[in-house]
Amino acid sequence: MLAFLVQRISQAALVMFVISVIAFSIQDGLGDPLQEMVGMSVSMEEREALREELGLNDPKLVQYLRFAGNAIQGDLGNSYFYGKPTLEVIADHLPATLELVIGASLIILLLSVPIGVYAAIRPQAWLAKFFMGVSTVGISIPVFLTAIVLIQIYSIGVNVEWFPVETGWGQWLNGALSTEGGLPSYGRGENLTHLFGTWYSGFFTESGLMHLVLPCVSLASIMLPLFIRLIRAEMMEVLQSDYIRYARAKGLSAGRINFLHALKNTMLPVITVGGVQIGVMVAYTILTETVFQWPGVGLMFLEAITRSDIPLIVAYLMVVGLIFVVTNTLVDLVYGLVNPTVKLTGKKA
């Protein structure tokens, strides 16, 4: 176990090293700190002196070591736009993104497990086929489009007047297809509860919760089909195995077999994939936050790009890289713990 731990952690450190090199070369290639610090009127000699003083003329290796040393101490420079340390800016925006991810994960968890299990137990039922069909279509819809459609239906409202009003049916169809709208589609709402530090939560007030609905549903919509398909496939495989047949032969109730014996082994691969997908979700938060003007790190990153705020871009890269590496390593470790058959050391098969 110890060898496994050391191997995984050193691998994570290596990946973090590569990320820091990439981040450093972006900062080195794109950012010119002098441009930001001094105006046009400063002479060439003074610029040169300042360059020397800041160490911008040092060899690249020395500069990288300084960058990495500062990064380890939690100093990734100051944002040009916000005028304060980049990590502080990210800390201000991170809670909003985390709440989005938490909300979406709850929706995914609460819907994908029952639907996936149902579709595996009754693959021929029309409802199961309907769910699988919807999930195929769902995979083909980009997350920002789902978000726009949700805004149109639940925020702006739809007024359908396609059918003739004279007939009762036409009127009923018009009414059935029209929606009121009214759900907020912009920002996080008012009266957020202060939890600690920079964390203001929207989970405890009505306004905050209403603002969470559309962004969380949009973010969940892209992952939900994937998880339903995964749970269904794994569950169907487990249901074929000998120990389930034995449980059936023993006369255990169907509910006990399905939810106690089979589900336990189904969730194992789901946990690994799920852990990795949390990382993937970070990419989708950028899209979701753009549509809903959600003040999280994704929107902050996109704004940093339009403002050419290089230190903030670099800091975002390092933080997101760290999140990815930590979640992947944790998932690996947890998987190694719960599944004793996994090879702990040596090369991957």
- Minimum distance from residue 45 beta carbon to another protein (Å): 28
**Among residues 15 and 50, whose Cβ is nearest to another protein?**
15
Least distance in angstroms from the C-beta of 200 to another protein: 26
Tokens of 44: 């060439």
Q: Give min distance, CB of 50 to another protein, in A.
A: 23
Q: Which of residues 103-132 bind another protein (CB under 8 A)?
A: none
Residue 140, interface with another protein (CB under 8 A)? yes
Nearer to another protein, 133 or 175 (CB): 133
The Cα–Cα gap between 290 and 145 comes to 12
The residue range among 103-111, 134-142, 212-220, 252-260 that interacts with another protein, by the rule CB under 8 A, is 134-142
Selected binder of another protein within 63, 152, 198, 205 (CB under 8 A): 152
Q: Give the other-Cβ count within 10 Å of 339's Cβ.
A: 13
187 binds another protein (CB under 8 A): no
Position of tokens 């760290």? 322
User: In the range 301-320, which residues lie near another protein by CB under 8 A?
Assistant: 301-302, 305-306, 308, 310, 313, 317, 320
| Long-range residue pairs from 329-332, CB within 8 A, at least 24 positions apart, any chain | 329/8, 329/9, 329/11, 329/12, 330/275, 331/271, 331/272, 331/275, 331/276, 332/8
Tell me the site size for another protein, rule CB under 8 A: 43
Torsion sign over Cα 195, 201, 204, 208: positive
Long-range contacts of 250-259 (CB under 8 A, 24+ apart): 258/117, 258/121, 259/117
- 33 or 199, CB closer to another protein? 33
Query: Tokens representing 46?
Result: 């003074």
Write down the least CB distance from residue 251 to another protein, Å: 34
- How far apart are alpha carbons 17 and 23 in whole angstroms? 10
Alpha carbons 62 and 66: distance in angstroms, whole number: 6
- Residues in contact with another protein by CB under 8 A are 15, 18, 26, 29-30, 136-137, 139-145, 148-149, 151-152, 156, 273, 276, 279-280, 282-284, 286-287, 290-291, 301-302, 305-306, 308, 310, 313, 317, 320-321, 324, 328, 347
